[in-house]
Structure 1
């Protein structure tokens, strides 16, 4: 018997929620590349979660005496940005776990999702480099980094958005 939070897998094993989906995807996928991505996604999600929780605590401490208004919005927006960064890291794991649960996943799908997800991780890095404030930029001999520094900071949103679009396209094409 199954309920809304427990789902029977193809091997008779179940998973409950996100942590179980990670283990289930790791266990059922035949792609070593995807298994490596599951481990990387878990580590990155924990690290990014730690950074965002630390940042939120700093924001709360700095604005604890101020009442509502803009500061309340900035706290909420900070959490929203954290979710926007972490959700695309988790999506490939959840998609592959769901497809394996339904016994419709293939090694090509798992591998494609892993490659597109790794591409998203690379675009996150590029977006971070672009969005570094000028006061924190270090001098570099790399022409690529210098060109990224020269872009407007708002352009740092473009690479991760392209990474998400590619991940979605790979999902649609390989399913």
Structure 2
């Protein structure tokens, strides 16, 4: 039906141009920028880790380096998934606004779960500029939510974005 898109980078403009959903097109634009920023963040974190562990011949150090790559992929892949799902659907049969909007909405939810997972993973105390600093006390309208996230064990903070990623897949399976 339509011209082809050239892989991952070409899927973003292709899906943006051919989708009938404004929500999905907005998600495509925002997620493209967010993917670029997160990719840069994880690449720089990997460079810093490699630089700080140069000269160490331990298998554990090599494992830590690999974890940065895996973690980056696990964070970025669900951001890209709605765009790839929609681009593939458009290429195979045309745009479907309700499907596009649903995947755009689940992409937004996933993005929000990344933020919630970051809040939940914040330790009770951390060192900043040589001083031990407690995490900020929750205030305002979102205080109950932040308190609930603080109560979640840090080791389980990854389950929040995982739930958002699973939602993307479930909506795709349900509506395809």
Q: TM-score, normalised by structure 1?
A: 0.90
Per the alignment, residue 146 of structure 1 pairs with 147
Per the alignment, residue 129 of structure 1 pairs with 119
Q: 1:89 aligns with which of 79, 100, 105?
A: 79
CA-CA distance at 1:145 after TM superposition = 1.1
Per the alignment, residue 131 of structure 2 pairs with none
Instruction: Name which structure has the greater RCO, CA cutoff 8 Å, separation 6+.
Output: 2
**How many angstroms apart in 1 are the aligned matches of 2:148 and 2:162?**
19
**How many angstroms apart in 2 are the aligned matches of 1:168 and 1:147?**
26
Q: TM-score, normalised by structure 2?
A: 0.89
Structure 1 ranges of 4+ moved more than 6 A: none
**How many angstroms apart in 2 are the aligned matches of 1:140 and 1:25?**
39
**How many angstroms apart in 2 are the aligned matches of 1:63 and 1:46?**
26
Per the alignment, residue 175 of structure 2 pairs with 174
What SS is found at the alignment partner of 2:137?
Answer: coil
The aligned length equals 165
Question: CA RMSD for the aligned pairs?
Answer: 1.2
In terms of mean alpha carbon deviation, does 80-89 or 42-51 score higher? 42-51
In terms of mean alpha carbon deviation, does 25-34 or 97-106 score higher? 97-106
CA displacement, residues 98-152 of structure 1 (integer Å, 9 cap, x when unaligned)? 0000115411100010011111111111111100122242122223212211221
What SS is found at the alignment partner of 1:46?
Answer: helix
Q: Which ranges of structure 2 fall in alignment gaps of 5 or more residues?
A: 127-134
Q: Which ranges of structure 1 fall in alignment gaps of 5 or more residues?
A: 1-9
CA displacement, residues 137-173 of structure 1 (integer Å, 9 cap, x when unaligned)? 2122223212211221012111111111211111111
